[in-house]
Structure 1
Amino acid sequence: MENAYRELNKKLPAEFFRKQAAIEKNKKITGIFLALGDMLSWLSCFIFGIIVLLLSNSGLNLNVIEWWYNIGLNQLLIYCLFSATAIILFWKNGHYSERSPFWTETGEIVRIITTLGLLNGSVVVATSLSFSRTVWLASFTSCLVVLPLSRIIFRKLLDHTGFWKIPTIIIGHGEAAISIFTAINNEKTWAMK
């Protein structure tokens, strides 16, 4: 068996291995880029939560600086902990390395964000910390929409720069090959060319 493997390696051109290395490098770059995009999305959702708080309390004479030092900073730290947990879970589930169908990935995003949002609220209640329910609800709810949309935008940017698509070979013929070709072309999130 090992001799057959050596013979095959001798026959394969060095260019094939260079292309494989380039594909692996592109996968790492896209993973890091998508993770950074998710971090940006989480942060923008927290900022959105603060804006909603300010707009909802505009008539209540809310002292923003006092709120930030008494409540906001602790809430941001807990929020960052849960957003980092989400990004680790996304990485572990292959969101940054595998090409999944859009609705499958969106379902996982909704499940993870909802679970972490409820855990965030539970931790804050259990530790009896002061926190703004408005910021909590607005930030996690907006994340349900912002995160999938930002992934679409970042993937389009990666596609535009040439990092997103992976060369693909279909082995087979007839109806099966045609149906696979059609499926690959119809599912843009798989990014196969």
Structure 2
Amino acid sequence: MIFNKAFLSKIALISSDILALLLAIILARMSNWAYDHSFGEAFLDWWWKERGDIRLMTFAILAAMVVGWFWGLGHYSGRKPFWDELKEILKALILIGVLDAALVYLGKWQFSRLWLLTTWFLALMLTPFMRLLTKRLLLRLGWWQRPTVILGAGNNAREAVSAILSEPLMGVEVIAFLATPEELVSSRVGVEYSASVLPLGEDPMLVLQGMGYPQVVVALDKGSLPGYEKLLRRLSAHYPDLMVIPSLRGLPLLGMEMTHFFSHDVLMLRVRNNLSRLGPQIFKRIFDIVASSFLLLLLSPLFVYLSWRIRRGGGTAVYAHARIGKDGKIFNCLKFRSMVPDADKVLQNLLASDKLARAEWEKDFKLKNDPRITPIGEFLRKTSLDELPQLWNVLKGEMSLVGPRPVVEEELERYGDLTDHYLEVRPGITGLWQISGRSNIEYSDRVNLDAWYVQNWSLWYDLVILLKTVRVVVRCDGAY
């Protein structure tokens, strides 16, 4: 084979981006043509009507800049998580689109502004979509997979592989773990991930050479290997793109800054908790106010209909329950009523008479087959429509669109050392817990997800969580 799979994959990804940009400008022009009702005029004649030659030449240069930008970011050869790569794609396209608008304005070119805006709007839609399709095709062809060996077989390696494999579009194919003597005896990671577990040995390079020099990820537990620094130096000499996953847990990773000291093998990490700073807090609050106001207005007919349906069964439409908010303040969390009017009494009687139900309640403060739930309430819970009134809590400043799940005082005890993280922010209508399995995950995992969100907040992650929430709600994943 003249060209290897890596080269063909690179060509395929570049071609998909060029095709997406080409489709964007053509479809934008066609929509402009249809909008002006110039059906009597041939499309090609319409294309050249407003100096289409200059427009096409300018766009070709800008498209080349986009592809060059993506090349510099490593999109065609490196492997990045989907949402991180999407963020970089959108950022590049928006900035190049702004440059395009500036050129049109400064050059005083008489182009249709609708054509320009539609072109870059379609580019924002088509480029990620084409990239996604291309990577899935490359995976099916077996061209995008990258055989990978994990150095380590302990807890750090297990968590590293779990994180990497959660991003299938990265194409990482774990073929083996190289373990220390202690890990060879105790580790079950090979069984969990259907991969070989081999001894790290005195010279790991010999093992890697026998495997054809696969991609290497160093994920050793802290202190598990005495010659760790020596191993890293040797690996870095043979692997220009060596990946190292340090055993760091509980630190804010997003926005972490690295400082290097000239002539010293010392790396200083500066960690920042974004939501502990005033600027991000204000930005998040503005987003909450604008988004909740818009959604309350948009969904007002649905509010009226659901209120009417609930009241038909007796009782009030909206139910308020005390929850712990930011800084430990108690607030009334609003929900559409999904239970019978005397729900608390029914629960106490059930817990007193049913040991299995009491054990289930004490575990997660939830019951899978809850006798208190009404027929309309079951539908509301499955679709999460019962939480829509919390948009009012968001507008009032008691909650946020995205954040930790609001808890009662008894639940807060389960947060232990992570309680401060919960109290640092406003609880959210949705969050990492809701898009990670909801009621199907352990309570301790939910606590860790809430803490991770607080430490690693960004507006982009809020948008990602909101988008994923839509999919989870439509599929009714983990809801009861």
The aligned counterpart of 1:150 is 130
**What TM-score comes out, normalization by structure 2 length?**
0.34
Contact 2:70–2:76 (CA under 8 A) maintained in structure 1? yes
User: Distance between the aligned counterparts of 1:123 and 1:37, measured in 2?
Assistant: 26
The aligned counterpart of 2:78 is 98
Equivalent position to 2:22, from 18, 39, 43: 43
Secondary structure of 1:168's aligned partner: strand
Structure 2 unmatched ranges of 5 or more? 174-480
1:170 corresponds to which letter in structure 2? Answer: I
Superposition deviation, residue 63 in structure 1: 6.6
After superposition, residues 1-193 of structure 1 pair within 5 angstroms as: 25-58=4-37, 64-71=43-50, 72-193=52-173
Structure 1 unmatched ranges of 5 or more? 1-21
Superposition deviation, residue 135 in structure 1: 1.4
1:28 corresponds to which letter in structure 2? Answer: F
2:165 corresponds to which letter in structure 1? Answer: N
Superposition deviation, residue 172 in structure 1: 0.7
Contact 2:29–2:47 (CA under 8 A) maintained in structure 1? no
Superposition deviation, residue 152 in structure 1: 0.6
- Return closer, same or farther for 1:65/1:186 CA change in 2, 3 Å cut-off: closer
Contact 2:33–2:46 (CA under 8 A) maintained in structure 1? no
Superposition deviation, residue 60 in structure 1: 9.1
Higher relative contact order (CA closer than 8 Å, sequence separation 6+): 1
The aligned counterpart of 1:5 is none
Secondary structure of 1:169's aligned partner: strand
Structure label with greater radius of gyration: 2
RMSD: 2.0
CA offset digits 1:3-31 (Å, max 9, x no partner)? xxxxxxxxxxxxxxxxxxx9x93222211
2:117 corresponds to which letter in structure 1? Answer: L
1:130 corresponds to which letter in structure 2? Answer: Q
User: Distance between the aligned counterparts of 1:61 and 1:116, measured in 2?
Assistant: 34
Task: Return 67-76 or 166-175, whichever deviates more.
Answer: 67-76
User: Distance between the aligned counterparts of 1:108 and 1:182, measured in 2?
Assistant: 24
The aligned counterpart of 1:17 is none
User: Distance between the aligned counterparts of 2:18 and 2:61, measured in 1?
Assistant: 12
Q: Which has the higher strand share?
A: 2
**What TM-score comes out, normalization by structure 1 length?**
0.82
Contact 2:14–2:76 (CA under 8 A) maintained in structure 1? yes
CA offset digits 1:71-118 (Å, max 9, x no partner)? 222211111111111001111110101011111111111111111111
Contact 2:150–2:157 (CA under 8 A) maintained in structure 1? yes
1:180 corresponds to which letter in structure 2? Answer: A
Contact 2:20–2:123 (CA under 8 A) maintained in structure 1? yes
Secondary structure of 1:95's aligned partner: coil
Question: Percent of aligned positions with the same letter in both sequences?
Answer: 27
User: Distance between the aligned counterparts of 1:98 and 1:155, measured in 2?
Assistant: 13
Superposition deviation, residue 167 in structure 1: 0.3
Secondary structure of 2:4's aligned partner: helix
Contact 1:117–1:140 (CA under 8 A) maintained in structure 2? yes
